[in-house]
Structure formats: C-alpha cells, structure tokens
Amino acid sequence: MAKIIIDGKQIEAASTDTILTAAARAGIDIPHFCYHPELQYAGSCRMCMVELEKSPKLAPRLPLKA
C-alpha cells in the first residue's frame, strides 16, 4: 500500500486505486462528473483536477501508479 497525503491527512491507498477512489474511501470529497468505477479512466470533464506535489500543472485524478 502507498501512503499519500491529501489536505494534510495521510491515507493508505492500494496500487490499483486512483487518487479519487483513495480519497473517497478516506472520506475526502474530490468533485467529479465523468468517473465511474466500471468504466476506463477518461478524465474528460476535468472536474476532478488536483494539485500534485512537484508537478507544475494540475492533474486529473490519476491512477497512483502513473
């Protein structure tokens, strides 16, 4: 399991999780519109954009292994 920090809260996430699914399991809401767990990753609506440490741009709720 990976350890990630969202809004100052450290949570554990499986390598198969996305940032969105790990956050949701920890009770942290990241707004989203086009995500569905049964569909392939798209990130089309861009509603789930998050700031990643050491990244110059915002990113959609990426898989943690990306």
Q: Where in the sequence is the domain holding 58, given as residue range(s)?
A: 1-66
The CA-atom distances, in angstroms, between 45 and each of 7, 24, 28, 34 are 23, 18, 20, 6
The tens digit of pLDDT for each residue in 35-50 reads 766 766 666 777 777 8
0.85 exceeded by pTM: no
The CATH number linked to 21 is 3.10.20.740
How many structural domains compose the chain? 1
Q: What is the pLDDT of residues 10-66, one digit of tens each?
A: 999 888 888 888 888 999 988 877 776 676 666 677 777 788 888 898 887 665 554
Distance CA 23, CA 29 (A): 7
Of 36, 8, 23, which is closest to residue 64 (Cα–Cα)?
23
